[in-house]
Structure 1
Amino acid sequence: MTTEGGGRGVLDGAFDLLETLSRAEHGAGLSELARDSGLPKATTHRLLEQLVARGAVQRHNQRYYIGRTLARLGRGWQPDPALRRASLVPCRTLARLTAAAAMVAVLDGGEMRVVAGAGTGAENSQHLSIADERVVRTAVGQVLLAAQPPHLLPPGYSWREWKRVRDRLTDHSALAIDHQDVAPGVYCFAASVSTRSGLLASISVLFSHQAPPKGTGELVARAARDVTRTLSTL
């Protein structure tokens, strides 16, 4: 295999550069990238030009940034492909029965990721940081974070307040309900979903400036059971 700089493969060098760029919020220059990736400057320049040509990297005013092609490919990544497959039909059914946006989200590192959705606006917020107090106070955020170890305190909560939330959600069949608590006119119901991979997951339905119909809580709980049951067969 063709190697670059110290016996590393070309692909190794390219991924080292992309990894370095992913941490550079304001882009990086050639010398900075060569230093941080540990590649010779000539090799760094050659690889960058190849990556720019493929759209994986973009260049602006002698600085380099993650490119559109790489960003597009990254959106296809799934933290749990089986969960997405199991969620598609229950999400569509829930959205149809409630005339609202339904989605399944997981807690992946420091982000809440939507893995499946149905209804208008269901997948508009693909990645939300759990460092955002508004996110952790949503019904979805409460369900996901309540399954974490008890010594972890989400931002914006006191220990006493968070204990009340956790105690309310310890039962897997329990619902978190947000009645305009985070934003005026927004209602959200969320329930936990059990996954085989160990990821924390929830299914929820979101109403914007419309009152939830009667029986919404049971519909969400049923959808959670459907996702869990389908997962067990995959």
Structure 2
Amino acid sequence: MTQTQPAEEPGRRTGVVERLTQILDVFAVGPDAMTLEEITALGGLPRSTTFRLLRQLVEMRWLEHDERGYQLGQRIRHLGQRVESHARLRAAAAATIEQLQRATAGVVHLVILDGDSIEMLDKLGGTTAPTIPTNVGVRFRAEDSVAGRAMLSALAPERVDRLIESRGAVSDTSTLHRRLSTIRHRRGLAVTTDDMPWDLRGIGAPILGSSGPVAAISVGLPGRSANVERFAPLITRAAASISRQYSAAHRAAAQ
């Protein structure tokens, strides 16, 4: 039986992003794999429009298409895994970074390494938080922060070079490598240096997984003369605790 195709609402043209969203929303309610006809019926768009959008989504790897029909693609699965991993990391770190913030009265950050940049996942500091000019979701070059340097120090020098070179600009990494070597001798503890573009001092430590750094935490205080070195034992224990809790959560999720 031929199904009547729903017409778009008179006087209103939906944008491309809205129509693509309508198609992707179908996969939240439908089976894992669907035919063109099933997606058309659930998505509420004309068949020709649905087919064109599906083809674009397949080309962009948001969807895949085989003999079973259309299904979520590698790109969207990777995004889902990334979000899930971040949620596990934040859950594993939550209690520990709260304790660290109370013990230091500083501003505590939880960050991840994404390519050659860091991304802020959490920031705790109570009334002192506004004194540190950072926000959740903001990204910085990894070498410009103590948390980023702590994670870079846990990577092989060749891997660091590849990350920096991925920007497409020629960079002299010799100074950075000397700084990372110092951090490695301090067992991963990075401390703010004069070349960093911040009116503060911080200390950072990596959170390690089975294949290297998965994140880092840092404690910062305003002013370039703040004594953050005294927090070294606290942040070392906190990073080790989060590493254990995250690894346990990761193993449980894989089972």
Note the C-alpha offset of 1:207.
1.0
Alignment of 1:21-40 (within 5 A): none
Alignment of 1:6-45 (within 5 A): 14-15=20-21, 43=49
> Are residue 91 (structure 1) and residue 97 (structure 2) matched?
yes
CA distance in 1: counterparts of 2:230 and 2:241, whole angstroms: 17
Q: Which amino acid aligns with 1:124?
A: N
> Are residue 124 (structure 1) and residue 135 (structure 2) matched?
yes
Note the C-alpha offset of 1:81.
1.8
**Structure 1, gaps ≥5 residues long:** 5-9, 19-39, 48-73
The CA deviation string for residues 51-85 of structure 1, in whole angstroms up to 9 with x for no partner, is xxxxxxxxxxxxxxxxxxxxxxx9xx465222111
Q: Which amino acid aligns with 1:168?
A: T
Distance 1:175-1:198 versus aligned 2 partners, 3 A rule: closer
CA RMSD of aligned residues (A): 4.1
* SS of match in other structure, 1:212: coil
Q: Which amino acid aligns with 2:120?
A: V
* Equivalent position to 2:87, from 81, 99, 113: 81
Note the C-alpha offset of 1:111.
3.8
> Are residue 222 (structure 1) and residue 232 (structure 2) matched?
no
**Structure 2, gaps ≥5 residues long:** 7-15, 25-45, 54-79, 250-255
* SS of match in other structure, 1:173: coil
Distance 1:162-1:109 versus aligned 2 partners, 3 A rule: closer
* Alignment match, 2:226: 211
Alignment of 1:1-234 (within 5 A): 14-15=20-21, 43=49, 77=83, 79-119=85-125, 120-121=129-130, 124-130=135-141, 136-148=143-155, 149-152=159-162, 154=164, 158-170=172-184, 173-179=187-193, 181-183=195-197, 185-196=199-210, 200-209=214-223, 211-212=226-227, 215-234=230-249
| Superposition misfits of 4+ residues, deviation over 4 angstroms | 1-4, 10-13, 15-18, 196-199
What TM-score comes out, normalization by structure 1 length?
0.58
CA distance in 1: counterparts of 2:247 and 2:4, whole angstroms: 44
Note the C-alpha offset of 1:228.
1.1
CA distance in 2: counterparts of 1:174 and 1:206, whole angstroms: 16
Q: Which amino acid aligns with 2:91?
A: R
What TM-score comes out, normalization by structure 2 length?
0.54
* SS of match in other structure, 2:161: coil
The CA deviation string for residues 25-62 of structure 1, in whole angstroms up to 9 with x for no partner, is xxxxxxxxxxxxxxx9x949xx9xxxxxxxxxxxxxxx
Equivalent pair of 1:83/1:195 in contact (CA under 8 Å): no
